[in-house]
Amino acid sequence: MAARAATLTDVAKEAGVSLATASRALNGSDRVVRAELHDRVLAAATRLGYSPNAQAQSMARGSTDLVGLLVNDIADPYFSTIAAGLANAAEEQGLLVMLCSTAGRPERELELLGALRRQRGRAIVIAGSRTSDRSHLRELSAQIDPFVSSGGRVVAISEPKLQVDTLVVDNRGGARELASEIAALGYRKPAILAGPEQLLVSQDRKAGFAEGWPSAEPVVVADEFSRDGGFRAMHRLLDSGAEVDCVFAINDLMALGAMAACRERDVDVPGDLAVAGFDDISTLRDVTPELTTVRLPLTEMGHMALDLVLGDRTVKPRRRKVRGEVVLRESTPAR
């Protein structure tokens, strides 16, 4: 019934003090309030079930305790792990995370970025891969630039395409190393299960793998950046009759789908075909055969992103490189 939440004015009245005093007592201002009044205010606040209005506080103070997070799909373990790292780091600093998920539609990025900007968070973390779409990039910048020049901060976890601080994932290097390690195991005929053409992660990992492979040009099949995409891509690869002895799926989820497809077609992994992924998603560490992959420190990346975006701002667009570590497991045995 009580349609209205208790305000600071209510508390002040209840405690018989001024608004200013109530404010000072409830939040550690530099001014000190006499112990007796202090207690009276606190008691009144409790009695009224008072909770400060964060919106009003940020208006008055001119700053918020929010940080925005923009991801492609929060259900994807890649992003949810980063989100977890970020949420923890944010919590340590007393910040709240505003979550936006484009649910796989990169067009939505713009709109959601706008929503995040309106919230006037201290910082915005953009965690999805960039695409090669130049006009989209321009539109993003049109949101980002005014936000930044009015004191907002933005960090991207991706390819360094935006003029903002960036946690640059070394996709290319990781894939290159993976390729050469797999080649060293004795494989000769590689295929790549790629994601959507415009996604830079996909391009970079694909290019890196090709670079790292000593001789043959890998066969490439592209599909969605998901378990189902990997499943379909693998089926198409098998249908094509291409002669292949190992498959690099652009991420673990696709690798998972690929292995499922192999199982369905009675292709033995790794007997008939070796499979490798990228990311090292933790829930996938127990699949059989254990998946060779490139480990990314996802949780830590969440932390790092916040550190970067909240850190010293003297240098303008700062880059921080994140390297992956090749983890060879059962799915790519030595031949």
Find the binding residues for a second copy in span 217-246 (CB under 8 A).
227
For residues 49 and 6, the answer to whether their CB atoms sit within 8 Å is yes
Q: Are 124 and 310 in contact (CB under 8 A)?
A: no
Name the minimum Å distance from CB 5 to a second copy.
4
With beta carbons less than 8 A apart as the criterion, state whether 217 and 210 touch: yes
**Binding segment (CB under 8 A) for a second copy, from list 144-152, 169-177, 235-243, 309-317:** 144-152
Say which DSSP state 27 is in: T
Q: Rule CB under 7 A: is residue 171 a binding residue for DNA?
A: no
Does the protein bind DNA through residue 19 (CB under 7 A)? yes
What does the alpha-carbon distance between residue 202 and residue 253 come to, in Å, rounded to a whole number?
13
**Residue (151 or 186) nearer to DNA, CB:** 151
Nearer to DNA, 19 or 216 (CB): 19
Check the CA dihedral 42-48-54-55 and report its sign.
negative
Instruction: Decide: is 180 part of the binding site for a second copy (CB under 8 A).
Output: no
Please enumerate in sequence order all residues whose Cβ is within 8 A of that of 56, keeping only pairs 6 or more positions apart, or say none: none
Stretch that binds a second copy, among 15-23, 67-75, 123-131, 163-171 (CB under 8 A): 67-75
- Quick one: tokens of 154? 């933005």
Pick the stretch among 14-22, 25-33, 143-151, 237-245 that binds a second copy (CB under 8 A).
143-151
Nearer to a second copy, 118 or 321 (CB): 118
Q: Which of residues 286-315 bind a second copy (CB under 8 A)?
A: 286-288, 299
Which of 43, 56, 103, 142 touches DNA (CB under 7 A)?
A: 56
Q: How far is the C-alpha of 131 from the C-alpha of 197, rounded, in Å?
A: 9
Q: Of 115 and 216, which has the nearer Cβ to a second copy?
A: 115
Q: Is 48 in the site for DNA (CB under 7 A)?
A: no
Rounded distance between C-alpha atoms, residue 10 and residue 5, angstroms: 9
Partner touching 96 among DNA, a second copy, none, CB below 5 to 8 Å by kind: a second copy
Tell me the HSE value of 178 on the side-chain side, using a 13 A CA sphere.
42
Distance CA 16, CA 57 (A): 22
Could you say whether residue 61 binds DNA (CB under 7 A)? yes
Amino acid at the residue 109: E
- Binding partner at 141 among a second copy, DNA, none, C-beta below 5 to 8 Å by kind: none
According to the binding rule CB under 8 A, does residue 253 interact with a second copy?
yes
83-102 residues in contact with DNA (CB under 7 A) are none
Taking CA atoms, 255 is separated from 2, 260, 267, 322, in Å, by 55, 9, 14, 22
Picked from DNA, a second copy, none, the partner binding residue 7 (CB below 5 to 8 A depending on kind) is DNA
CA 305, CA 228: separation in Å to the nearest integer? 29
Position among 57, 119, 141, 180 found at the interface with DNA (CB under 7 A): 57
Is the separation of the CB atoms in 12 and 22 below 8 Å? yes
The continuous run of DSSP H or E covering 112 comes out as helix 108-118
Q: Alpha-carbon distance 226 to 250, whole Å? A: 10
What residues numbered 79-108 form the site for a second copy, per CB under 8 A? 80-81, 83-84, 87-88, 91, 96-101, 103, 108
Nearer CB in complex with DNA: 30/312: 30
In the complex, the residues that contact DNA under the rule CB under 7 A are 4-5, 7-9, 17-21, 23-24, 26-27, 29, 31-34, 36-38, 50, 52-53, 56-57, 59-62
